[in-house]
Amino acid sequence: MKLLHALFLLLGLAIIAVAGTLGYARYAVLETKTLPMDLTVADTLAFNLDTDAIHFGKIPAGFEGIKNVTITNNRGIPVRAEITADGALAAWLGVDATPVLIQPRSNHTVVLTASVPKETPLGKYEGTLIVRFKRAR
């Protein structure tokens, strides 16, 4: 009888493990993209339109810069894009919406706002924008 209970317990644990793995795989991160970001705190305003990174340009302390970033879903399934930031700009960065649902083979534009605190010393500040693509629920 104890052997039968042990077998049922092992079978139950195996079923739970398989179901958990399948559930995790369904909502796991499909891909992570990173984009470098930078801005220079200066006494003047200046724009940087280069496309190799998210450049906010030159911004005086106490002001903000805004950038539109287009996120593309090339997959045949809807995805949820979760947007976060890392580095010196992370605390200054606002994202208009996260997470965002992006339909198959379509785009979504996200508005990023870098708000420079008033007492920030002059200089260059960098960070990374992180976009994690997950299966949509």
pLDDT of amino acid 49: 84
Token pair for 82:
């979760």
pLDDT of amino acid 109: 95
pLDDT of amino acid 97: 81
CA dihedral in degrees (105, 81, 35, 89; nearest 10)?
Answer: 150
What are the domain boundaries of the chain? 30-135
Q: The tokens 């990173």 sit on which residue?
A: 34
Query: Which helix or strand (DSSP H or E) is residue 52 part of?
Result: none
Residue-by-residue pLDDT tens, the chain, 137 positions: 665 554 555 555 455 555 454 444 455 889 999 999 999 999 998 888 888 999 999 999 999 999 999 999 999 999 999 999 999 999 999 998 889 999 999 999 999 999 999 999 999 999 999 999 999 87
What is the architecture, at CATH level 2, of domain 30-135? Answer: Sandwich (2.60)
| pTM of the predicted structure, to 2 decimals | 0.77
Single-letter amino acid, residue 14: A
* Spatial CB neighbours of 122, under 8 Å, sequence gap ≥ 6: 40, 41, 42, 43, 61
Cα 106 to Cα 71, 77, 118, 132, distances in angstroms: 9, 10, 38, 16
